[in-house]
Amino acid sequence: MPTESTKADEVALILEDEIVSGALEPGIVLRQEQLSERFGVSRTPIREALRRLAALGLVTFVPNRGVRVQALSREELREAFMVRAELEGLATEIAASRITPEDLAALDEAERKFSTLTAELRRRALDNGRQDPGLFGEWMRANHAFHDVIYGVAQVPLIERVAKSARRTFMGQTIWTGRAELDELYAKNELQHRAIREALAAGSVAGARALAREHVLASGRLIEAVLEQVGGAPDASERRLREPA
């Protein structure tokens, strides 16, 4: 079997996932030597992977000092949601003009999965007042899956790519505790997904766009509110570059 991908690509994929999922806390410094021995490769592919992540905006290079996981400011977080809102609105509008009955069925299925997960999440949150990070991740994945169906219908790979790169940037910004705002987020998301699905089913092009746009903006506002309460901690961004051994 000939090589179909390079070490640098594999490392980049893994690190990307870890940063997006929050496993790598924003602000921490990545040491090339550590990554090198962790992945069992030399520093060369590590550096190439880091360059890629830097281009995606997930880490920043500080020449001769190191790379650190990028922490988004409150402002940048808002921007990321604005970008997503516009692009998901656009994609949804395009999807509205192309959608077929089979697509609608797939959308239904995604919505159903999302609903059951939402119910489970809300129930558990009421029980112990605290989110299960794993379950929250599941929920977020299902949430994204719903929109991914729409992207699939719209068939706009470039728009999809750009929007998803904005989507990544907000995850792992904080620990998700069981705030009341989160419950509102769950409830509203469900309602809004349903509304979007109906607009798509009705072929309401302008309506679908507006609903999708407003949906993302609303989610952004709520997440912002959650972060506001959790604390103004822009995390470890102030931490010194050179960690004590």
- Say if residues 113 and 166 touch (Cβ distance below 8 Å): no
Asked if 41 touches DNA (CB under 7 A), the answer is: yes
Asked if 65 touches DNA (CB under 7 A), the answer is: yes
Asked if 42 touches DNA (CB under 7 A), the answer is: yes
Asked if 8 touches its own copies (CB under 8 A), the answer is: yes
Among 20, 28, 30, 54, binds its own copies (CB under 8 A): 54
- Say if residues 83 and 93 touch (Cβ distance below 8 Å): no
Residue 215 token pair: 């949906």
Among 1, 33, 40, 64, binds its own copies (CB under 8 A): 64
Asked if 241 touches DNA (CB under 7 A), the answer is: yes
Dihedral over Cα of 10, 11, 17, 18: its sign: positive
- Say if residues 69 and 63 touch (Cβ distance below 8 Å): no
Which residues 94-113 are close enough to bind its own copies by CB under 8 A? none
User: What is 136-196 written as a DSSP string?
Assistant: HHHHHHHHHHHHHHHHHHHT-HHHHHHHHHHHHTTTTSS-----HHHHHHHHHHHHHHHHH
Cβ proximity to its own copies, 69 vs 121, nearer residue: 69
Chain residues binding its own copies by CB under 8 A are 2-6, 8-9, 44, 47-49, 51-57, 61, 63-64, 76, 79-80, 82-83, 86-87, 89-90, 156-159, 161-162, 165-166, 169
